[in-house]
């Protein structure tokens, strides 16, 4: 069973110790430790940001984090979503020992279901970036209906999912 649990004194050391494969390091622009520190700062700055430990059958296997914010980067200026509210997936990883077991997919689905409940406010979009060479991430997000925008920053593609209607409606079991 996959669960998302908040970061606490019980799991923070395990989350920080999680690692991706050597050839995946370019796909994530940050570490779990730095992400947790960023969450503190973003929350202080008024951008709700929640880091989660991913558990599979009670074992910490991964980490993810999302924020609630306005999509107002200047590169979005000509897009429908410019200046709209969105949930932004900042980080997702499954430790190298546990990849390829559907944990990433199930955790991502759980996260989308959390977002669907709009825990920090109404939003029209879920957005994320992935490295243009990260085929696994691209395939995973496309399977949940994320569309590439063509906006590329630092070799990362912005993909977006419109939240009109239930986002989990389209999920195929
Ligand atoms: C991306 C990541 C989170 C996926 O988690 P995972 O547990 O390894 O993946 P899953 O077993 O849940 O597979 C999920 C889907 O990914 C896709 N996928 C998995 N391996 C793939 C591969 N080798 N090539 C293409 N797509 C692949 C498939 O769509 C798969 O679903 P399916 O098995 O139903 O077809 C994980 O591999 C990871 O942490 N990678 C390194 C960090 C990273 O790239 N994070 C994303 C940053 S945007």
Q: Whose CA is nearest to atom 31 of ligand 1?
A: 140
User: What angle, rounded to 10 degrees, do the helices at 103-116 and 135-143 form?
Assistant: 40
In the reported structure, the alpha carbon of residue 134 is separated from the centroid of ligand 1 by a whole-number distance in angstroms of 9
Q: How far apart are CA 46 and CA 36, in angstroms?
A: 15
Predicted confidence band of residue 169 (pLDDT cuts 50, 70, 90) = low
Please list the residues that pair with 44 across neighbouring strands: none
Mean pLDDT of the chain: 94
- Centre of ligand 1 to C-alpha 160, Å, is 18
pTM for the full predicted model: 0.94
Q: Is 162 helix (H, G, I), strand (E, B) or coil?
A: strand
Question: Tens of pLDDT along 128-142?
Answer: 999 999 999 999 999
Look at phi and psi of residue 126 and say left if phi exceeds 0, alpha if psi is from -120 to 50, else beta.
Answer: beta
Number of domains in the chain: 1
CATH code, 147: 3.40.630.30
Task: Ligand 1, residue 20: give the atom nearest the CA.
Answer: 41
Q: Closest ligand 1 atom to the C-alpha of 98?
A: 7
The residue segments making up the domain with residue 120 are: 2-170
């Amino acid at each position: 069973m996959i669960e998302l649990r908040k970061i606490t004194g019980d799991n923070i050391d395990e989350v920080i110790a999680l690692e991706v494969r050597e050839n995946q390091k370019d796909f994530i622009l940050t570490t779990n430790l730095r992400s947790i520190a960023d969450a503190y700062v973003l929350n202080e700055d008024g951008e709700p940001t929640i880091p989660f430990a991913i558990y599979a059958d009670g074992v910490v296997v991964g980490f993810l984090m999302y924020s609630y914010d306005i999509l107002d980067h200047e590169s979005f200026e000509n897009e429908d979503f410019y200046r709209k509210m969105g949930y932004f997936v900042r980080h997702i990883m499954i430790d190298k020992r546990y990849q390829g077991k559907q944990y990433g997919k199930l955790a991502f689905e759980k996260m989308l279901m959390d977002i669907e409940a709009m825990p920090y406010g109404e939003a029209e979009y879920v957005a994320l970036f992935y490295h243009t060479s990260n085929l696994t991430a691209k395939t995973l997000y496309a399977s949940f209906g994320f569309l590439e925008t063509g906006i590329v920053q630092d070799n990362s593609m912005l993909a977006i999912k419109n939240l009109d209607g239930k986002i989990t409606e389209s999920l195929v079991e």
